[in-house]
Structure 1
Amino acid sequence: MSPHQLDVLISLVERKIPGWVKPTGRPHALPLWRAVVVLCFLLRHNNAQAAAAELFEIYQPTVSWYGTRLRPIVRDALKMLDFGLARLPGSEPVLVDGFLAKSWDWKAAERLFSKKHQASGHNIQVVANTRGRLQAVDTPLPGARHDASACRASGIADKIRRHPRLGDKGYQGLDLLTPYKKPPGRKLTNAEKDCNRAHSAIRSAVERCIGHLENWKILGERYRGPLSVFPEVLETVTQLEPLRAWKPA
């Protein structure tokens, strides 16, 4: 994030935690602005907490406490900016795609393994506009879920009903505009191939959007934390990413 974007984030968090600097008692190890930087560092780079502790010259339990304490506050503070579908005109098309956020293969969690990706994790459904800007991400689902099934179950399909919608072949049957499949017994016509190329050119924006999300390494690399915390981590990152891409007028 740019210094200006970070200033916006810190000012929003300060409103949520006005009493960070205590007049009496033991002070926090870091000022609030630096604690927010620690949280962003953990989400952006997915480093071990011990490495973050050494870098910021604090103890590992303090790093863990900052992450637990500040994640929901950062998430809720950024919701005040109202990024996403709420700002998007109903006539503007949206692009839908999914990706696998990898995690350890916890035996207590069912259906995490995705045969398509040959890895364990969560199926994340992403909505972007045609400029590749993130508009919505909803409930993470087990990685074994097919994209079409995950789109319905996550709640994304209901959120985008008022928009023209584009998806890849995995979303056929969901009232999205999808590419032509090769029918049995004949090849695609030239017109159908041209439509597929145009569709692919437009839909590439959502793939760029997913690439930006995966640059937050806690989603792009293997997630190591408790699975019960992952929905909160995902929601925090998907509030931070629109801020990172935001440029004031």
Structure 2
Amino acid sequence: MTSRHELTLQEKIQLTFDNKDGNGLSQRKLAVEYNISLDSVSNILNLVTLWYLKHYHSERYIASELNLNRSTVNYFLSEVVNILHACVYPELISIPADIGNRRTPHEPQQHHKLIVDSTCIAIPEPHEAEQRRAYYHGKSPTNYAFKVQVACDFHHQIVHVSDCYHGSVHDITILRESGLLEHVNDSVQIIGDKGYIGEEYVVTPRKKPHGRELTNEDKEFNYQINSARAAIENINQRLKTYGILGGVYRGDIDDFHKMTRITKVVSALCNMNLNKHPVRK
């Protein structure tokens, strides 16, 4: 039997380019040519991209470490993200078909099935005043950001991720344009914060009446809602452990399609981690 051997760094990089766009060698031919297993081929094609998403080293740094030019690094990172978005995201993130029939622990409101919240992805301060107004987000460490909406179920798995928006766009606008409301009805309702007030099937904390205090019943209701919302807040914090979302994004801030693909890929990877390390026992 022919023994397998460890690839050098340059062999790994060459392997990546041999298979770029799916127009290069087949994985089986690559395995034969490089004398490695088929599993190793897939692992190598994703390795550098996953490292990039997690630690968000600059493309210049990666190019230097791999002895490649920056445009080449940009190319293969973008291509692998596109592949992961097309193949991995749909498999790992979707609203369960039986969501309306699922029992939830949120007694007595058994119709509460989803929890939603937005999170921001910081960007540097834009140069133009119009862009500064569009991207302004007071909770961003730079005051400017993309905004994305994430929804989870009561198993605390991400089930829906919106496209990315300017940081100044209101949460309720993103919800209405995200397609998530197509899945709600009397038996499937969404829990959100006060930024989502205004939709029939979105349950938000009760506001304090003018000149009066909340009743004990209202306080208990708000406690239950806020307790449930803690799950999506924790999930959004998990997303920020990936450097590309948790740091300051250095890419083209006008390329919303790319940022959306990156966010959805990271969300899918986060879901895999949530299976092993749930936010709540």
Query: So what's the TM-score if we normalise by structure 1?
Result: 0.79
1:105 aligned partner: 125
Instruction: List aligned pairs for 1:125-164, cutoff 5 A.
Output: 125-161=149-185, 163-164=188-189
Secondary structure of the corresponding residue to residue 242 of structure 1: helix
1:81 is matched with which residue: 91, 114, 133? 91
Moved over 4 A (4+): 159-162
2:194 is matched with which residue: 151, 169, 172? 169
Secondary structure of the corresponding residue to residue 81 of structure 1: helix
Q: Distance in 2 between matches of 1:59 and 1:219?
A: 25
Are 2:148 and 2:164, in contact at CA under 8 Å, matched by a contact in 1? yes
Instruction: Give 2:125's aligned amino acid.
Output: D
1:51 is matched with which residue: 52, 56, 61? 61
Structure 2 unaligned runs (5+)?
A: 1-18, 34-39, 103-112, 277-281
Instruction: Give 1:77's aligned amino acid.
Output: C
Instruction: List aligned pairs for 1:1-249, cutoff 5 A.
Output: 17=22, 19=26, 21=30, 32-55=42-65, 57-61=66-70, 62-79=72-89, 81-86=91-96, 89-92=99-102, 93-106=113-126, 107=128, 109=131, 111-115=134-138, 117=140, 119-161=143-185, 163-175=188-200, 176-227=202-253, 228=255, 229-246=258-275
Higher RCO by CA contacts (8 Å cutoff, separation 6 or greater): 1
Spell out, residue by residue over 1:93-138, the C-alpha distance to the aligned partner (whole angstroms, 9 max, x if none): 0001111111223337461112454711112111011232211101
Mean alpha-carbon deviation: is it higher for 189-198 or for 100-109? 100-109
Q: Distance in 2 between matches of 1:66 and 1:197?
A: 47
Between the two proteins, the alignment pairs up a number of residues equal to 227
Q: Distance in 2 between matches of 1:132 and 1:208?
A: 10
Q: Identity percentage over the alignment? A: 22
Secondary structure of the corresponding residue to residue 272 of structure 2: helix
Query: So what's the TM-score if we normalise by structure 2?
Result: 0.71
Secondary structure of the corresponding residue to residue 128 of structure 1: strand
Q: Distance in 1 between matches of 2:188 and 2:250?
A: 36
Q: RMSD of the alignment, in Å?
A: 2.8
Q: 1:80 to 1:177 in 2, by over 3 A?
A: closer
